[in-house]
Structure 1
Amino acid sequence: MSHVTYNKMWAEAQEGLNNLLQTETEDKSPKPLKDHPIVFQMLATFYVKYVQIFHNLETAYDQIVHPQKRLVIRQVLEGVMGRILELKNEMVELENSEFHYFDDILQDQKLCPEHIEIPIPRYFIKEKLKVLKEREKILAQILVNAGLQDIEPKKHIKVMTFEEAIRIIQISERARQGRLRAEFMKQIYLEEKRERQARLHSGKSPNLDASAVCIQKVWRGYIQMKRTEKIREEEMIFLGMSPPPHFHRISASLMQAQRVEAMRCEVQEKHEEEYKKALVAIKNRLREMEGPDIKESLQEQIRQWFIECRHITGKFPDYPDEEDGGSIVIFSQKTPEQVAAELAAKEEELQKKSKDKGKKGKKEKEKKKKGKEKGKEKQEKKANEEKEGWKMAPSNFLPIMEEGNNWYKDVWQHREEGWNFHQEYDPELVKEEKRKEVKEEIRVQVDELMRQELKNLKLAVDREKDKKKRSGKKDKVSHAGLVIPPAQFLTQKWGYNLLTSRSGTKTRTKSFAVEDYIKNARTIDSLYKELVEGGLLIKPKTVKLSDYVGEYSYLGTTLRQVDIEPMPSLADVRQLIALYGILPLGSQALHEKSPLVKALLLAGPAGVGKKMLVHALCTETGANLFNLSASNIAGKYPGKSGLQMLLNMVFKVAKQLQPSVVWIGNTEKTFYKKVPKAEKEMEPKRLKKNLPKILKSLKAEDRVLIVGTTTRPFDADLRPFCKVYKKIILIPRPDYASRFALWKHIILQNGGSLSKSPTISCLAKMSDGFTQGHIIYAAQTILSERRIRQLNRKPLTAVELMGALARQDPVYKEEEDMFKAWYAKTPLGKARAKALMEESGVQTRACAQCPDVHTVQRENGLQRRHQADEAFQRLADKITAAEQSKAKVYVVLANFQLFFQQKSITTKKIETLGMYVQKKSSKYSEAIFLLKNCQVKVQRDSRQYENP
């Protein structure tokens, strides 16, 4: 695309942003809102619109080549990203849930789910590409020198037992013998057939016409079959039910677009270098040409101020300190009396501060006593705020966006650029910017000269003594008012004065000595090398967040409206990883001002992609990956001092080479309630006491994120676990839409073809309960190199893939319920449950005053009763016709149990019935009797809706 296209995209984004800013800032003192659905709808609408603007600004920033325009876009872009994070935080606090659904808003605004996908800014990697490549070379070299480059095998090799090996050999040998026997019998059969044919045709002469007709018949049938297949395939492609043959190949137009993007990036770098050189050259030119005139005019104005002050006050004024702004105070369009009054007021404030410092010790004791009372007051304030209603929290990013928006309006909105076809830097704008810097530099020099001149004037005219004003080397005033000499007069002996008490005795501790040793005696290079050789700093796999395939949940809002809590989709998980991990780690300004996330927990069954998301975090932000899993640090740096040294090393390197991700795999082991005997030697709880201290030491300027992954979070002690990981992302198994997309992606990725592949919808339905890891394993197992070569003559079938999938254990409902029950005990889960209880209580009180609701409940009760009657009758018929098969009966019961759950027909007798039939499959009369009792129980439960 051209420069005009991206400029237009930028203008549209700025226009949308301007409208949003007007909406957000028009009411400076908004009234509290009590209706939570309306508040959430407002926040969600803002969120969706900001994400759309984010898309346009990110694309414009990546492709616009004008260096000065990119400065404006960058400021607005970071403001928009920060505002998105703030809105997400507001929605989480409002709904007490990490997952939110916008399907109704998308429908209202005619948008697709792709429009609210959080894009990953490409400048996160582009701007430090050279640094990342150098780091990769250093890491690879250290691994080669240490002989660790092949520690991790590329493919997981499954260990086979002796019995399994014997069984495979037996199967292969029996199959070989069977093939030989079948081939031998086939030869005998063909020989007998030839003899019979010879006897039949021995007396007949060969008929060429009959032979030709036979050949023609077979050939024409074959040709017609091929034509029919081709017509059927063309029809399916035309109807959109089958992809074209070359649909998944990269088209020539797409390749051309990629080449143009790469070319624009090269032009962008070239213009950026020219702009940086111009900044220095133009500044030097302005200093040479305009510097003397600026200096002379400033001196004249300051001398005039001296004379005016002496004329009004009768003496020369005190020159403002550089800390107060120097001569800027003089040129701030204030009278000499106002300037003198301000200087006197500042001196009084300094004196008051020095007096107040002595009183701090007494006040601290009083504060400790009042701490508990203040905690109660805060809780009361929160309760009062909830009663009053919801108010938008103050934003750190709205001023940034307003400043960038005003910058765009003032400079770029109506700027004529017909002369700048190549979109190079504008020299006039550079002159305006650098003229201010030159003037500021000259002002500082003039201040030094004029201070000396003022001192000479005072000595000559007023005979005043020189009052020294030490700026950088002033004598400090202690709490008792004594003068303390400057720091350079104190001893320079390392560590002595810092580590001695007032009586002169040393109070140095071992941990503090370890910190000093690492901070002062060790270089980052040596620490980096030691961590790599110890396996604590590892190379992340190159995985993008977009490779985590998953579809959007289209029924989230609908399900919540009928009081059903939907399971989050994989697209929702992908969004949270981008919001809580990638965006803050990628931008320093964003990390410092946005809601701070220090630790993130990824919990879910095995195979849902937790480790993949950790590696995607590092790939998208260029972060270092540290592995502090219990199994990885077992036996390394033993003892308390060793552990302290390990943590100091890791977090010093992590902070110096930020962004960094500290990964703790199987993090539930660190918070075990009781350590199993088999794992006691590993000491899994080594980090339990240190993790809270580490989190406190992480500040907003440290782009370090602790990420824990767990497959069994319910084994951990919940209270300290949730104290460390305040952001918890529960990753479910994939739903139908995600499995459908995943099968397509995996088959194509492993060399398969969708045009001749099995029905994807069938695979997605049959693989319910299996995770992404199971699906990938099945596809990689079946689609070997040999099988890929056979695809043209032997298409892939669903039976092959499901056979490989059936050899693995799915995620059972019991395990999924355990995860749900555990999440309900977390602080956010409890808050969500409490909010739902309160909301249902309000609805119940409203229903008591509304007769229409009784009618609805009565109709629902009757409908559920009829559904239960029909379902139980069908179940009884199927049990009696199950042909005395225990397995079939149990499958029927399981299917109907699922039906009852979906229809909200809850009863424990169905479980009793299932267990009874499983144990005593012969007594079907008793099973049907229990079934009838269960039916009566459900009818009794449903009657309460008929007469509420």
Structure 2
Amino acid sequence: MSFDLNHKYWVSTRKDIAQLIKKQNRLKKIAPPGEKAVSFKIFAELYVLYVELVAKLGFIYHHTFQVQKRAVVRTLVESATQQLMQLKEELKELEMSEYVYLDKALIARKLTPRDLVIWRSPQFLYRRPLDIQNIIADNRLYMNDVEKEEKAAQDFVPITEAITLIQAHERARRARVYKSNIKYDKKKFLKVMQRKKINYRFTFKPDQAMSIPVKRTIFTADFIKNTEDCDYLRTKDDVGEDMAAMMDEEAENMKRNRAATVIQRWWRGYRTRKIVKIKKRFKEELYGMKKMRKLKRPNQRADAVMEMYKHEMLKRKLDEDYVNLILDERTRLMQVRSPWMMEDISDHIRAWFAEFYQKTQNFHPYPDPVKKGTVLVVIDETMTPLEFQQTLGKKPLTKEEKKKIRDKERKDKKKKREKLKLIKMKEAKRRKKLRDAGIIDIAFAIGESKPIIAIEETMKKYSEDWRNVDEYLNKNHDPIKEWVTEDELCKIHQEVRGLVDEYMRVEYELLREALAKDNEEKYTPLKVKYPKKKKQKKKKKPKDPTGDRTLDSLYNELKDGGIIEEVSTKDFDEFIADFNFVADDTRDEDDLTTLGPAKGDIKMVIQESMLGMGEFDIPKPKSLLLIGPLNSGKKLLCNIIASELDAVFMNLSPEKTYKYADDLKYFLHLILKVAKAFQPTIMYIEEAHRLFWSKVPPEAKDINPRLLGSSIASKILKPLKKNDKVVLVGTSNMPWSAKGGIRKAFQKILLIPRCDYGTSFLIWLELMTENCPDNMAEYAYSALARVLQAYNSGDITDNIKNTLSIERRMRLQTDALDPHEFLEYFINEEHPPIFPIEDKFMEKFNKWFGSSNKMMKLRKSFMAKKNAKAKK
């Protein structure tokens, strides 16, 4: 992205933020709406605006390199994302569901549900330290020159081994081609092989004429004739032989040239035909004669990752330059300005002494270090000469009088606190009463929102600090040196003033002693109150059994033990699913949706739950459980989460952990230490209900499935802090078989919806046009999606993969694909028949999910209250 475009994008985003702040300021003054629908509409509009704002600020933050400006944009994007999550929680409570539908707000902004996706992988990734990243991924982008040379030496492959490897792949390729040629016409081939043997007897009659005339060819060439006899060898001419060899070489070259010409002619012909075909298809689509039916995915550049790391390297270099600039400027200021600064401070304090002596013939008490010393003089928080004069004539207070004054101040403070507490309690009760009636005090929610306050303060400070700075002229991303000088001068001034106060206190005491001699009074030095040093309580650190080991060895131990696994690179677009576009139109009299979510809606909920795993401080659940029938995409989603976050993937399924049963305490310590050190980390448990079985089946006793069940809540989740980028993700296809502990172990439980028509259509369309778009351009996808809609997405994917095999794709031009072939896969005799999910089975999932999910329980209680009122 160019500098000019980024600058224009930032200017337009600032205008959007200003408009949003104006809108929020108007909403801070409105009375609580009387209807729930009005509150929902206001929050929905704000949510859509914040989604757009977060997307823009995330993109700007990713492409902003100037250090001081990047800090401003970071505060804005973090605060905007936090406010976005708060708005989503409000909408969920109003909707009483994990899934929120904002069709009216989207239509007003001309957006689609896909535009509500907040996750932007490169912008929100959490960056690990370099030494940690070098352990995880042997990536040369993170290495210095010495490490690159060492790695290159290790990766060197001898030429002989390389040739052997190439030959092996070439032989394997030839074998695959040979096998494909044999199986090209499978039916005909099988008929030839299965043909019955016919007994045939040969008879020959010399005088009988042939019934079928046969042309006979007489060959006179003798290819075995040897002309090199003795006479030929005696008269052989070496020069003539060389000429013959040259002639043979020219002939070979001519053959090669002719062969190359033929190959080039065929290649150019093929290429021309392909270009003509593409142009013809483009014209047909342009004129509306024909349309290509193919799922459109967001454009993703192939070099996006490389560009991201280049940006990271540039930012790291600019950060180092900025730190060096601060150190250099601080050193310069200490050498040049600090002596004059100390002189100015001491002159100012002496002038303060002189002013009080001239007006009161006495000296103001020297401010104690506990009250920040003579900083009070600068900010005018000391007594004036007149006030000090009035205190001189008074008698000093006794201990009892001082105690009474302190007690009175305490009582006054206590009354104020109790009064404020009472006001807050009344306000909270009022809002709760309104919320129970479905009404939200929008003015309070927006006015007391900390992220909104942070955004307003940041924009105000930006407008003050940057009003005289022309950002467009700074194309080299240089830091603004004047600000560095001001900040360091402020820090140096505070440090130097403490030192000057100690010297000036001595001078102050000398003046008081001289004044006491002149007045013939007893001199008593004043007591100095220094700030008490907080005694840090020494907490007993738990013994670390791996304290003497490196992180590299711990990581490799878990990797060798099969706990840490490598996941394939996938993104959320690979979970093919459609959104629910009709739920918003099917609301009941309580303005609640009556139609369940579509499969695509689950992606948005999971992305919001994982947003806290990124760079910014955003709340997130510590554990997540995905439930649903087999082949519904649970494991694929876990793989996508780990891949999108570039997270370390720890498989804690019983098949992996049973071998650590002898030393479980050490194992739990090991996985927690590695997970925190290498965060972001995904801890994955497949079929998590096995950890909470009430009775273990005999066939599963070998893997000890309940080993980690009792340790998840107390030993894994409890030690994790809010800021730790570690999350436990589990899957289950039979959650009702587990005890109640599974609900305590997983903070958030999500049910993957069954496959709907839109999702089924997109799966058939995408997977069938992926490898053969020309032959599958016009196919009965809608009919297939409607007929086989009840099947899970995994079953449909396996069906397409097996039916559209390589051999079948080779015969598509001659043998068209029959839709019955897909049906035959489900009822094939080679494997057990596959049937759609029964409604009773899905009802079982819905029932368990309704008693486990927070929002579903809220909706159930609301419906129960409504029915009770209706009965009365």
1:573 is aligned to 602
* Cα distance between partner residues in 2 of 1:288 and 1:794: 87
Check if 1:818 corresponds to 2:847.
Answer: no
Contact 1:623–1:659 at 8 Å: present in 2 too? yes
Question: Which of 443, 452, 465 is the matching residue for 1:398?
Answer: 452
Check if 1:16 corresponds to 2:12.
Answer: no
Contact 1:120–1:620 at 8 Å: present in 2 too? no
Deviation at 1:598, TM superposition (A): 1.8
Check if 1:714 corresponds to 2:739.
Answer: no
Deviation at 1:285, TM superposition (A): 4.2
* Cα distance between partner residues in 1 of 2:605 and 2:834: 29
* Cα distance between partner residues in 1 of 2:298 and 2:626: 35
1:781 is aligned to 802
Percent of aligned pairs with the same residue?
A: 23
Q: Deviations over 1:723-771 (max 9, x none)?
A: 3323221111332222222333333555655654633323322331222
Name the CA shift for 1:722/1:92 in 2 (closer, same or farther; >3 Å). Answer: farther
Deviation at 1:77, TM superposition (A): 0.9
2:464 is aligned to 410
Q: Secondary structure at the match of 2:453?
A: helix
Contact 2:661–2:707 at 8 Å: present in 1 too? no
Supply the AA of the counterpart residue of 1:242.
K
Check if 1:436 corresponds to 2:463.
Answer: no
1:698 is aligned to 720
2:623 is aligned to 599
How does 1:229-248 map onto structure 2 within 5 Å? 235=284, 238-239=287-288, 241-243=290-292
Check if 1:425 corresponds to 2:438.
Answer: no
Q: Which deviates more from structure 2 when the two are superposed, residues 614-623 or residues 84-93?
A: 614-623
1:491 is aligned to none
Question: Which of 623, 635, 638 is the matching residue for 2:659?
Answer: 635
Question: Which of 365, 368, 371 is the matching residue for 1:317?
Answer: 365
Supply the AA of the counterpart residue of 2:440.
W
Deviation at 1:568, TM superposition (A): 1.7
* Cα distance between partner residues in 2 of 1:35 and 1:747: 48
Name the CA shift for 1:22/1:717 in 2 (closer, same or farther; >3 Å). Answer: farther
Q: Deviations over 1:366-389 (max 9, x none)?
A: xxxxxxxxx9x9999956862594
Higher relative contact order (CA 8 A, sep 6+): 2
Under a length normalisation based on structure 1, what TM-score does the superposition of the two structures give?
A: 0.64
Deviation at 1:82, TM superposition (A): 0.9
* Cα distance between partner residues in 2 of 1:414 and 1:561: 56
Name the CA shift for 1:809/1:326 in 2 (closer, same or farther; >3 Å). Answer: farther
* Cα distance between partner residues in 2 of 1:466 and 1:521: 53
2:382 is aligned to 335
Name the CA shift for 1:184/1:698 in 2 (closer, same or farther; >3 Å). Answer: same
* Cα distance between partner residues in 2 of 1:23 and 1:455: 59
How does 1:648-687 map onto structure 2 within 5 Å? 648-687=669-708
* Cα distance between partner residues in 1 of 2:298 and 2:549: 52
Deviation at 1:823, TM superposition (A): 1.5
1:542 is aligned to 569
Deviation at 1:542, TM superposition (A): 2.2
Q: Which deviates more from structure 2 when the two are superposed, residues 737-746 or residues 127-136?
A: 127-136
How does 1:796-811 map onto structure 2 within 5 Å? 796=817, 798-804=819-825, 808-811=834-837
Supply the AA of the counterpart residue of 1:659.
P
Deviation at 1:309, TM superposition (A): 6.6
Q: Secondary structure at the match of 2:543?
A: helix
How does 1:448-487 map onto structure 2 within 5 Å? 448-455=499-506, 457-458=508-509, 461-462=512-513, 464-465=524-525, 467=527
| Structure number with bigger Rg | 2
1:585 is aligned to 613
* Cα distance between partner residues in 2 of 1:85 and 1:184: 77
Check if 1:759 corresponds to 2:780.
Answer: yes
Contact 2:626–2:749 at 8 Å: present in 1 too? yes
2:758 is aligned to 737
Q: What are structure 2's unaligned runs of at least 5 residues?
A: 141-146, 148-184, 199-210, 213-275, 392-396, 411-424, 514-522, 828-832
Supply the AA of the counterpart residue of 2:544.
Y
* Cα distance between partner residues in 2 of 1:60 and 1:771: 40
Contact 2:588–2:594 at 8 Å: present in 1 too? no
Question: Which of 556, 560, 567 is the matching residue for 2:587?
Answer: 560
Contact 1:569–1:734 at 8 Å: present in 2 too? yes
* Cα distance between partner residues in 2 of 1:285 and 1:413: 28
Q: Deviations over 1:308-366 (max 9, x none)?
A: 577769455354437x555544433433469999xx9xxx99x999xx9xxxxxxxxxx
* Cα distance between partner residues in 2 of 1:240 and 1:280: 69
2:830 is aligned to none
Q: Which deviates more from structure 2 when the two are superposed, residues 91-100 or residues 623-632?
A: 623-632
2:647 is aligned to 623
Q: Secondary structure at the match of 1:23?
A: helix
* Cα distance between partner residues in 2 of 1:233 and 1:450: 82
* Cα distance between partner residues in 1 of 2:278 and 2:17: 54
Supply the AA of the counterpart residue of 1:23.
K
* Cα distance between partner residues in 1 of 2:688 and 2:571: 24
2:394 is aligned to none
Name the CA shift for 1:589/1:245 in 2 (closer, same or farther; >3 Å). Answer: closer
Deviation at 1:266, TM superposition (A): 7.2
Supply the AA of the counterpart residue of 2:677.
Q
Q: Which deviates more from structure 2 when the two are superposed, residues 94-103 or residues 779-788?
A: 779-788
* Cα distance between partner residues in 2 of 1:256 and 1:631: 38
Between Structure 1 and Structure 2, how many residues are aligned?
A: 702
Contact 2:626–2:731 at 8 Å: present in 1 too? yes
* Cα distance between partner residues in 2 of 1:228 and 1:693: 64
Name the CA shift for 1:183/1:788 in 2 (closer, same or farther; >3 Å). Answer: farther
* Cα distance between partner residues in 2 of 1:573 and 1:567: 11
2:100 is aligned to 100
1:214 is aligned to none
Q: Deviations over 1:797-851 (max 9, x none)?
A: 5444444355534323222121112112224322212224445777999xxxxxx
Supply the AA of the counterpart residue of 2:365.
P
Under a length normalisation based on structure 2, what TM-score does the superposition of the two structures give?
A: 0.69
* Cα distance between partner residues in 2 of 1:39 and 1:622: 38
1:221 is aligned to none
* Cα distance between partner residues in 1 of 2:350 and 2:322: 39
Contact 1:68–1:425 at 8 Å: present in 2 too? no
Q: CA RMSD in A?
A: 4.7
Q: Secondary structure at the match of 2:749?
A: strand
Check if 1:300 corresponds to 2:347.
Answer: yes
Deviation at 1:116, TM superposition (A): 1.5
Name the CA shift for 1:461/1:119 in 2 (closer, same or farther; >3 Å). Answer: same
Contact 2:624–2:730 at 8 Å: present in 1 too? yes
Contact 2:99–2:597 at 8 Å: present in 1 too? yes
Contact 2:338–2:492 at 8 Å: present in 1 too? no
1:930 is aligned to none
Q: Secondary structure at the match of 1:601?
A: strand
Contact 2:431–2:440 at 8 Å: present in 1 too? no
Q: Deviations over 1:52-87 (max 9, x none)?
A: 111222222223444443332221111111111111
Deviation at 1:286, TM superposition (A): 4.5
* Cα distance between partner residues in 2 of 1:625 and 1:352: 60
Contact 2:338–2:496 at 8 Å: present in 1 too? no
Contact 1:655–1:703 at 8 Å: present in 2 too? yes
1:115 is aligned to 115
